[in-house]
Amino acid sequence: MNKILIVVPYLYPALSYGGPAKVVYDLAEELSKKNAVTVYTTDAWDAERRISGKEKLKGNGNLKIRYFRNLINSIAYKYRIFTSFGMVCSYLRERDQFDTVHLNDVFVLPNLLIGYLAFLYKKAYVYSPHGVLDPVRTRRKFLLKKIVYRLIAGRILRGAKTLIATSDSEKNTLQALSFRNVITVFNGVPTRKFQPSGKFQKYKNEKKLTMLYVGKIHPLKGLKELIRALKNITFPFQLLIAGTDDGDMEYIQKLISQYKLRNIFFLGFVNDGQKAELFNLCDLFVQPSLSEGFSISILEAMNYGRPVLITKACNFPDVKIYNAGIVLETGEKLVSNLKEELIFINKNKSLLKPMGENAKRLVSKKYSIGSMADKMLKIYNA
């Protein structure tokens, strides 16, 4: 039985930090069916609060989840500066207990220190950057990231047995940085579905095209471009935005007010049952990202049989191949293309159901959590 340590600074249900919090938990749970898995994570939920005792996941016989206190959550949420050094001390004591260490996220100091210790003591480790080295994303807080990368992150990544890309696009990015030990493993989602909550039934409206966005409200998610595309839309629609603010809420709300748009609703953080309800009542899932690692929200929407309107930056070329939705180019024409496609969809609503069925088949065939776990295990054992 393999003994695997997974290190991630934020873990489900701390979804305010993004999709990796969920996919890492799902992967750990799937791997634990046949392996001994330990997860090191922190108690960070968002800038204001911590994961409470009742919210902490219990694991199972083969899965142990260890939460370490993050000293200052506000700077972790805003700058991704995590201060959970207890996990570093634990790894130093327990390093001989694990066959493989799987590190997640690059610009996180405790993770990098564990990577350094693994390198120093000649322990096998693999690294999942989760898209954070994409040039579009590294432009934000560029100086700080450049310093961290030059001083420590680049060296630790080069010492990894394997770098795991979530898409072929990310693989190309990593190889352009002169990494040669890169393997693409697509994220996966469990086939299980959650009981809808019943909280959002007031938004069920068959007379309007109901669009749903689930994710962080972040400048790179394309929400500004989507709002601009809706500016002169004349057919009845509503846009539901579920997620927490990550730097773009105020600007988007100003745009909505400036354009005098109605029927755009901010729902805040949603749990699994609430997401299940939103997926079921929406006509179309939208995520026009300018840069993306590999969106779990897109996978979840397709798993519920929803067609998607996304960009090439979302790294889902199969959406077009399987006719599971619409994939747009990013760039200067994104706003006009979004508007054009939404008008087309509204006029051809009969296309939505078969696209949604194709989306569900795509997830089942290519993006299951079981398939992801099998590929990861081969990498660990190589």
Task: Clarify whether residues 85 and 109 are in a common domain.
Answer: yes
Domain membership of residue 176 (yes or no) is yes
For residue 159, what is the domain's CATH number? Answer: 3.40.50.2000
Task: Clarify whether residues 362 and 374 are in a common domain.
Answer: no
Task: Clarify whether residues 135 and 244 are in a common domain.
Answer: no
SS percent in the chain: helix, strand, coil, step 5? 45, 20, 35
Residue type at 325 in one-letter notation: G
Task: Clarify whether residues 51 and 168 are in a common domain.
Answer: yes
**Host domain of residue 334:** 201-366
Task: Clarify whether residues 172 and 265 are in a common domain.
Answer: no
Distance, CA of 34 to chain centre: 25
pLDDT tens track of the chain, all 382 residues?
899 999 999 998 888 787 788 999 999 999 999 999 999 999 998 888 898 888 898 888 899 999 999 988 888 777 778 899 999 999 999 999 999 999 999 989 999 999 999 999 999 999 999 988 888 776 666 676 788 888 899 999 999 999 999 999 999 999 999 999 999 999 999 977 788 888 999 999 999 999 999 999 999 999 999 999 999 899 999 999 999 898 899 999 999 999 999 999 999 999 889 999 999 999 999 999 998 878 899 999 999 999 999 999 998 999 999 999 999 999 999 999 999 999 999 999 999 999 999 999 999 999 999 999 999 999 999 9
Token output for 172:
């190309």
Task: Clarify whether residues 32 and 173 are in a common domain.
Answer: yes
Give whole-number Cα distances, 276 to 130, 197, 213, 242, 301, in Å: 25, 7, 13, 12, 9
* Segment 71-129, tens digit of pLDDT: 888 887 777 788 999 999 999 999 999 999 999 999 899 999 999 999 999 999 999 99
Residue type at 42 in one-letter notation: T
Domain membership of residue 195 (yes or no) is no
* Segment 313-325, tens digit of pLDDT: 998 999 999 999 9
Task: Clarify whether residues 225 and 164 are in a common domain.
Answer: no
Task: Clarify whether residues 23 and 85 are in a common domain.
Answer: yes
Cα–Cα distance measured from residue 86 to residue 123, given in angstroms and rounded to the nearest whole number: 19
Q: Are strands 308-311 and 325-328 parallel, antiparallel or unpaired?
A: parallel
Question: What's this model's pTM, rounded to 2 decimal places?
Answer: 0.85
Domain membership of residue 110 (yes or no) is yes
Task: Clarify whether residues 266 and 126 are in a common domain.
Answer: no
> Would you tell me how many other CB atoms lie within 10 Å of the CB of residue 207?
7
Domain membership of residue 46 (yes or no) is yes
The answer to whether 22 touches 15, Cβ cutoff 8 Å, is: yes
> Would you tell me how many other CB atoms lie within 10 Å of the CB of residue 210?
20
Domain membership of residue 196 (yes or no) is no
The answer to whether 164 touches 200, Cβ cutoff 8 Å, is: no
Token output for 247:
């730097």
Domain membership of residue 194 (yes or no) is no
Looking at the DSSP bridge assignments, the partners of residue 42 are 68
Domain count, the chain: 2
Domain membership of residue 153 (yes or no) is yes
Domain membership of residue 95 (yes or no) is yes
Q: Where are the beta strands (DSSP E) in the chain?
A: 3-7, 36-42, 63-68, 100-104, 125-128, 162-165, 182-184, 209-214, 237-242, 264-268, 284-287, 308-311, 325-328
Task: Clarify whether residues 66 and 207 are in a common domain.
Answer: no
The answer to whether 102 touches 25, Cβ cutoff 8 Å, is: no
Task: Clarify whether residues 223 and 139 are in a common domain.
Answer: no
Q: What is the CA radius of gyration of the chain?
A: 21
Task: Clarify whether residues 221 and 357 are in a common domain.
Answer: yes
Cα–Cα distance measured from residue 75 to residue 80, given in angstroms and rounded to the nearest whole number: 7
